[in-house]
Amino acid sequence: MNQTNLLATVVEWMPFVLQGFLLNILMSVLAIMIGTVVGTFLGFGQISPSAVVGVPSKLATQLFRNAPWLVLLFYCIFLMPYQITVWGATIQLPSWLRATVGFSFPVAANFSEIVRGSVNSIPGGQWEAAEALGYNRRTTLFKIILPQCFSRMLPPWMNLYALLLTATPLSMIVGVEEALGRTQAAVQAQGDSSTLIPMYLALLIMFFLYTWPINRLSLVLERRFRTK
């Protein structure tokens, strides 16, 4: 197959692959939302002076942060039910949704470390000054410490999202029909090995064009906040 025909083939299959890429984006957005919420609570738990809260939070963070993403994905895919019944109504849980939950675990653990690190980066003198002014620990955390942490957490949070998106093709292994799976299906349907490299190159460019601006923006924000 000549280069003109190869390009035409790639263009022909792009709408099919792009539909799968939208699923990658959807899974990454939902997973980062779930992971951010859960990770925030885990991060607060890690800095809690109570051992009852701190120890489980630290154990959960280290467990999910250091576990392979694919292993967590398999656990969620095969241990979560395929459907649940709520008030008599049966709700199906498709593979992509269970995979999203699987991705949210390592995201939550990594964001927990971002929260913990950001809070600990604030000089301890601010805690002491707030205590001297009569603020309790909770008020100090939410009114004084956290507002300063947002700018420190944003760049690594954006990098975490970019990393998450590039990890979503792992869901193909458990049967999710996302961009990588659709690219593989297109190559097999074409039945021509010469289309393999162009199709996967197009997929690579697709992910790059989406994640590169995110990484660049995170670097810009990091430099900007560092100068303040």
Tens-place pLDDT, residues 62-119 = 999 999 999 999 888 888 877 777 777 778 788 899 999 999 999 999 999 999 998 8
pLDDT of residue 1: 57
Measured in degrees and rounded to the nearest 5, phi and psi for residue 133 equal -85, 0
pLDDT of residue 2: 60
User: What is the C-alpha to C-alpha distance for residues 34 and 13, in angstroms, rounded to an integer?
Assistant: 32
pLDDT of residue 224: 77
pLDDT below 50 — which residues of the chain? Answer: 227
CB 76 within 8 A of CB 70: no
Query: Cβ contacts of residue 195 below 8 Å, gap of 6+?
Result: 1, 6, 9, 10, 186, 187
Reduced DSSP (H G I as helix, E B as strand, rest coil) percent helix, strand, coil of the chain, to 5: 85, 5, 15
User: What is the C-alpha to C-alpha distance for residues 135 and 120, in angstroms, rounded to an integer?
Assistant: 18
CB 145 within 8 A of CB 119: yes
**Cα distances (Å, whole numbers) of residue 24 to 17, 119, 177, 178:** 11, 32, 9, 6
Q: What is the pTM of this model?
A: 0.88
User: What is the C-alpha to C-alpha distance for residues 24 and 100, in angstroms, rounded to an integer?
Assistant: 10
- What architecture (CATH level 2) is domain 3-226? Orthogonal Bundle (1.10)
In the chain, where are the structural domains located?
3-226
